[in-house]
């Protein structure tokens, strides 16, 4: 049985009282909104006598009852505005129940109401709505957390009793959005970021496409997949870890430029930089190479910064990051040598293991040369790259889908962009030699036999597609969540995901609600 607090019991009692008065707490009829709070704040001028017939809807966030007249605050999707509610204005006849009983006693903070009236300025100059009509639109049965503000002795605004516990905020994002306005701004900026990228790519004439999320083989990245089963076909399927191999099939099919904003899924550890479900934008353009793609990334991300902030500089924690072109560029070997003094060029697996041990980098026996280099880079280089930086020319073992370097044996034409100590994108001159690609896949199979759980599988249909011929192609993947963290100065990936993955809310010892079995 649901346990109700005293406040929740009281609200249910009020719900019953409203019904006794013949008031439907959850009416079906539409409420026609013609203006929003911020629109009124921005455009109301008393001398123009504008906004004389307004209709707004939102939550009641505060009430100050003063006898026959009261003030309240309504919050809609754009912000807050003050309401002036006069008993005789909303109850012009003899029956004053709408004010005396409904408004004063039965409406709670958090309830949705619709109001009609005209805009005016109070004696203290606050833009307000003089309410002439009030309708209850939805009764709230749980009280919102009360967030209070005060001014300290230095005149600074101080917030206390705030809804700040991260676990509560992420589990109850719907409450977080109501009581913490800055959270809403973060997600608006995330949407603007995606829109800026989409506009940029559309302007270039590239086609936005959709590829399968359920895949018979997972590929396109080094990661562990989520596994499921299709009952009708009686076959195992995987949630995609990347959409690369499908997008490259479309390049084979004759499109010159395709991109997709995709939900990908990786069955890996969780941290403030990793969520098992995440968003990537992948782009593939025919007849281009990774040098060309570096220029595109610089230009596109610079444009995103301008769209969100009106400038190329973005404050991220203590760092002021500047996305203005050009960005610094290191090869992988140059970066490791620069930050550790160790030269990885031409080194055997044994020499790399010895160097990793000297650099206090933890390894396990399943790791080949690629993994060892990646661990050294991740431990000693990546965290030190704060300004946007391109790392180029990776060892061939690290990149099974990238084309061999045109002039540097043992390397591939690949780059990653690192910013604020984390990778934000990965790109290649794409491997389009089907013979070489098959050999790379077979090397990955051997790594899998050694225990590498992130090794790629061999995709025969993708190899068949390459055998029909794929033009020279540049490919790119950008992590939207990571880029959103930087562009919104967010400390955790959970802060830029509406509903991040969480541990179960109930332990086995508690009376957890049991999910209903699927038919």
Q: pLDDT tens track of the chain, all 519 residues?
A: 678 999 999 999 999 999 999 999 999 999 999 999 999 999 999 999 899 999 999 999 999 998 899 999 999 999 999 999 999 999 999 999 999 999 999 999 999 999 999 999 999 999 999 999 999 999 999 999 876 666 777 777 666 556 888 889 999 999 999 999 899 999 999 999 999 999 999 999 999 999 999 999 998 888 899 999 999 999 999 999 999 999 999 999 999 999 999 999 999 888 888 899 999 999 999 999 999 999 999 999 999 999 999 999 999 999 999 999 999 999 999 999 999 999 988 889 899 999 999 999 998 888 888 889 999 999 999 999 999 999 999 988 888 889 999 999 989 999 999 999 999 999 999 999 999 999 988 988 887 888 777 778 889 999 999 999 999 999 999 999 999 999 999 999 999 999 999 888 865 555 555 544 433
For residue 367, the 8-state DSSP code is -
Helix (H) or strand (E) holding 446: helix 434-449
Q: Count of alpha carbons within 13 Å of 219, Cβ hemisphere only?
A: 24
Task: Determine the distance from the C-alpha atom of residue 148 to the mean position of all C-alpha atoms in its chain, rounded to a whole number.
Answer: 28
Token reading at 287: 């007849």
> Burial level of 222, CB count in 10 A (0-12/13-18/19+)?
buried
Which sign, positive or negative, has the C-alpha torsion 405, 408, 410, 415?
A: negative
Q: Residue ranges of the alpha helices (H) in 91-219?
A: 97, 166-171, 173-179, 181-203
pLDDT of residue 216: 93
Strands 411-419 and 235-239 turn out to be unpaired
Cα distances (Å, whole numbers) of residue 295 to 12, 99, 302, 415: 60, 64, 11, 12
Confidence at residue 105, expressed as pLDDT on a 0 to 100 scale: 96
At residue 332, the 3 state secondary structure works out as helix
DSSP per-residue string spanning 472-516: -EEEEEEEHHHHHHHHTT-SSGGGG-SS-----SS-TTS-PPPPP
Q: Is 376 within 8 Å of 363 (Cβ atoms)?
A: no
**What pLDDT does residue 506 have?**
67
402-404-409-415 Cα dihedral, nearest 10 degrees: -40
DSSP 256: S
What are the E-state strand segments in 25-156?
54-66, 69-76, 79-86, 112-121, 127-138, 148-151
**Can you state the angle between helices 369-380 and 349-358, rounded to 10 degrees?**
20
- Residue 87 to residue 166: CA distance in whole angstroms: 42
């Amino acid at each position: 049985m649901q346990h109700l607090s005293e406040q929740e019991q009281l609200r249910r009692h009020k719900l019953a009282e409203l019904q006794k008065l013949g008031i439907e707490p959850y009416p079906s009829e539409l409420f026609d909104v013609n203006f929003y709070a911020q629109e009124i704040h921005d455009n109301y001028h008393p001398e123009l006598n504008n906004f004389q017939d307004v209709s707004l809807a939102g939550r009641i966030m505060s009430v100050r009852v003063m006898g026959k007249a009261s003030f309240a605050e309504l919050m809609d999707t754009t912000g807050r505005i003050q309401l002036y509610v006069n008993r005789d204005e909303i109850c012009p006849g003899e029956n004053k129940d709408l004010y005396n009983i409904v408004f004063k006693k039965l409406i709670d903070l958090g309830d949705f109401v619709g109001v009609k009236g005209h805009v005016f300025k109070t004696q203290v100059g606050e833009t307000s709505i003089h309410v002439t009509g009030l309708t209850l639109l939805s009764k709230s049965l749980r009280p919102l957390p009360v967030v209070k503000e005060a001014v300290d002795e230095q005149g600074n605004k101080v917030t206390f009793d705030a809804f700040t516990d991260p676990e509560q905020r992420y589990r109850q994002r719907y409450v977080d959005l109501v009581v913490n306005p800055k959270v809403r701004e973060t997600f608006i900026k995330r949407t603007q970021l995606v829109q800026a990228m989409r506009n940029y790519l559309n302007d270039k004439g590239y086609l936005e496409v959709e590829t399968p999320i359920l895949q018979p083989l997972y590929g396109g990245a080094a990661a562990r997949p989520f596994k499921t089963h299709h009952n009708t076909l009686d076959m195992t399927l995987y949630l995609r870890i990347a959409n690369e191999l499908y997008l490259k099939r479309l390049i084979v099919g004759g499109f010159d430029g395709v991109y997709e904003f995709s939900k990908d899924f990786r069955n890996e550890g969780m941290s403030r930089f990793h969520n098992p479900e995440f968003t990537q934008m992948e782009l593939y353009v025919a007849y281009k190479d990774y040098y060309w793609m570096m220029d595109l990334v610089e230009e596109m991300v610079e444009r995103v910064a301008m769209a969100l902030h009106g400038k190329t500089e973005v404050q991220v924690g203590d760092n002021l990051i500047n996305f203005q072109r050009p960005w610094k560029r290191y090869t992988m070997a140059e970066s490791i040598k620069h930050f550790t003094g160790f030269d990885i060029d031409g080194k055997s697996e044994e020499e790399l293991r010895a160097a990793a041990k000297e650099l206090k980098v933890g390894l396990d026996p399943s790791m080949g040369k690629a993994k060892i280099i990646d661990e050294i880079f991740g431990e000693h280089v990546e965290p030190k790259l704060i300004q946007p930086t391109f790392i180029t020319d990776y060892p061939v073992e690290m990149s099974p889908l990238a084309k061999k370097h045109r002039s540097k044996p043992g390397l591939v034409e690949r780059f990653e962009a690192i910013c604020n100590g984390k990778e934000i994108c990965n790109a290649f001159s794409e491997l389009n030699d089907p013979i070489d690609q098959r050999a790379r896949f077979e090397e990955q199979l051997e790594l899998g036999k050694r225990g590498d759980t992130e090794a790629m599988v061999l995709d025969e249909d993708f190899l068949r597609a390459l055998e029909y011929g794929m033009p020279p192609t540049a490919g790119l993947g950008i992590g939207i969540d990571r880029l959103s963290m930087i562009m919104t100065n967010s400390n955790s990936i959970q802060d830029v995901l509406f509903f991040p993955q969480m541990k179960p809310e109930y332990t086995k010892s508690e009376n957890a609600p049991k999910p209903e079995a699927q038919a």
